[in-house]
């Protein structure tokens, strides 16, 4: 009888663990001024992360400016093509898969979703500039065998106003890059993104408002997820594509789930428990779902020892209790 019970428990363990296989357990690997070294990769592996998002940058001076400045000597190493390639190569040597995710930064931190031109001439200039930017990195993605390529991040007005450009751009990207494609839609944008069927993943930067409590409980946060999860499930079903959280994270501060997208340094008091609860809620709400591919924690700095910590109220979970939560779930779902 004891042997039968033991055998049943073994089967149960195998059955339960089998549903966890195949999740993308990622970190958003922040570009630095320096080359990445093996010592920077070790904490990522200790987190049981199996993917990392590498994020080179292009810069725009104003929200209605059509020129994207990228891959220059004035940028940090990790923001350039050479730097992104070096990051990818070392991550791959450590058996960590990569999503190459080129992003745009608008001067003074203006939200990229508001990028919108004032004339047809400027729209055409922006299209030419963005195409040069994104195809540069599509070529790098193919060259470096990056497993996923993200064609854009939080560019709602650009996408809505110029749908034909994006349709043609996706075809051009597919000519250069043969891996998996996604687009990182903002949390309030993904339901209107028109080209999910042309990509492999529905990408969402998952900063959904869930609760107005100072320190929401896990159960409260899971309740807050329910209406958003219904919408996400519907979009996934309609497009017949799995969902990938191209970014997900919560700051370690009071009211962290009220407006999770906030980036102001002076916002609210440090609250490590709120960040822990928010992390647990998202894992418990999504990581068991078959239609859910996984996600990339926002964000992870390469100099682990000097990042985050118990006095930090920013997004990074590094050297905070939330890091252990991520480690626990990533280990189970690896």
Contacts of 128-136 with C-beta under 8 Å, sequence gap 24+, read 129/66, 129/67, 129/68, 130/68, 130/158, 130/169, 131/169, 131/172, 132/68, 133/58, 133/68, 133/70, 133/102, 133/104, 134/102, 134/169, 134/173, 135/172, 135/173, 135/176, 136/70, 136/71, 136/81
* 194 within some domain: yes
In a domain, 13, yes or no: no
Q: Is residue 9 part of a domain?
A: no
pLDDT at 268: 85
The mean pLDDT value for 208-233 works out to 98
Q: How far is CA 313 from CA 215, 307, 325, in A?
A: 14, 11, 17
- Say if 44 falls within a structural domain: yes
Average pLDDT over residues 198-210: 99
- Residue 262 has a pLDDT of 79
Q: What's the number of domains the chain is made of?
A: 1
For the segment 243-253, what is each residue's pLDDT rounded down to a tens digit? 999 999 999 99
Structural domain includes residue 226: yes
pLDDT of residue 264: 66
Predicted confidence (pLDDT) at residue 2 exceeds the cutoff of 80:
no
Q: 34: part of which helix (H) or strand (E)?
A: none
Res. 6 pLDDT band, cuts 50 70 90: very low
Worst-scoring range by mean pLDDT, 108-112, 156-160, 178-182, 238-242? 108-112
Lowest-confidence pick of 14-23, 65-74, 195-204: 14-23
Q: What is the pLDDT of residues 253-265, one digit of tens each?
A: 999 999 998 776 5
pLDDT score of 250: 95
Query: Are 62 and 35 spatial neighbours (Cβ–Cβ below 8 Å)?
Result: no
Of 63, 189, 61, residue with least CA distance to 117:
63
Report the length, in residues, of the chain.
334
Q: What is the mean pLDDT of residues 15-28?
A: 71
For residue 61, the model assigns a pLDDT of 95
- Residue-wise pLDDT for 216-228, tens only, equals 999 999 999 999 9
The alpha carbon dihedral of 208, 211, 215, 220 has a sign of negative
pLDDT digits (tens, 9 = 90+) for 284-318: 999 999 999 999 999 999 999 999 999 999 999 99
Residue 30 has pLDDT above 70, yes or no: yes
Name which residue leads in pLDDT, 203 or 2.
203
Do the domain assignments include residue 8? no
* CATH number for 29: 3.20.20.80
Q: In the structure encoding, which two tokens stand for residue 144, read together?
A: 């470096």
Domain of residue 74 covers 22-332
pTM confidence score = 0.93
Q: Are 316 and 301 in contact (CB under 8 A)?
A: yes
φ, ψ (nearest 5 deg) of residue 253: -150, 165
Residue 10: inside a domain, yes or no?
no
Q: What share of the chain has pLDDT > 70, as a percent?
A: 93
pLDDT at 243: 99
17 compared with 20, residue with greater pLDDT: 20
Tokens of 217: 């409980």
Tell me what the mean pLDDT of segment 31-60 comes to.
98
pLDDT of 266 reads: 59
Confidence bin at 21 (pLDDT 50/70/90): low
**What gap in Å lies between CA 72 and CA 58, rounded to an integer?**
9
- Predicted confidence at residue 9, as pLDDT, reads 37
> Given pLDDT bands bounded at 50, 70 and 90, which one contains residue 108?
confident
Instruction: Please report whether residue 6 resides in a domain.
Output: no
Contact call for residues 245 and 206 (beta carbons, < 8 A): yes
């Amino acid at each position: 009888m004891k042997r039968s019970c033991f055998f049943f428990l073994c089967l149960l363990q195998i059955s339960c663990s089998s549903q966890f296989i195949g999740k993308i357990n990622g970190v958003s690997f922040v570009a630095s001024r320096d080359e990445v070294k093996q010592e920077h990769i070790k904490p990522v592996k200790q987190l049981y992360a199996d993917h990392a998002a590498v994020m080179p940058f292009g810069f725009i001076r104003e929200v209605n400016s059509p020129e994207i400045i990228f891959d220059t000597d004035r940028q940090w190493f990790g923001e350039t093509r050479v730097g992104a390639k070096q990051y990818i190569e070392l991550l791959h040597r450590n058996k960590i898969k990569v999503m190459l995710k080129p992003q745009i930064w608008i001067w003074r931190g203006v939200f990229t979703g508001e990028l919108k031109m004032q004339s047809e001439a400027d729209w055409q200039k922006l299209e030419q500039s963005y195409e040069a930017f994104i195809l540069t990195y599509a070529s790098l993605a193919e060259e470096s065998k990056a497993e996923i390529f993200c064609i854009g991040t939080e560019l709602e007005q650009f996408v809505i106003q110029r749908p034909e450009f994006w349709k043609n751009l996706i075809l051009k990207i597919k000519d250069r890059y043969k891996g998996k494609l996604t687009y990182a839609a903002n949390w309030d944008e993904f339901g209107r993104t028109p080209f999910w069927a042309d990509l492999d993943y529905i990408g969402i930067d998952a900063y959904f408002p869930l609760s107005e409590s100072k320190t929401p409980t896990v159960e409260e946060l899971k309740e807050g997820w329910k209406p958003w999860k219904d919408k996400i499930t519907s979009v996934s079903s309609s497009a017949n594509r799995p969902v990938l959280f191209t970014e997900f994270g919560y700051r370690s501060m009071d009211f962290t789930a009220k407006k999770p997208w906030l980036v102001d340094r002076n916002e609210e008091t440090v609250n490590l428990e709120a960040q822990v609860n928010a992390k647990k809620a998202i894992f418990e709400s999504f990581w068991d779902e078959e239609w859910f591919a996984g996600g990339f924690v926002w964000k992870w700095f390469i100099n682990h020892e000097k990042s985050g910590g118990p006095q930090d109220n920013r997004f990074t979970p590094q050297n905070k209790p939330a890091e252990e939560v991520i480690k626990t779930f990533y280990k189970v779902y690896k």
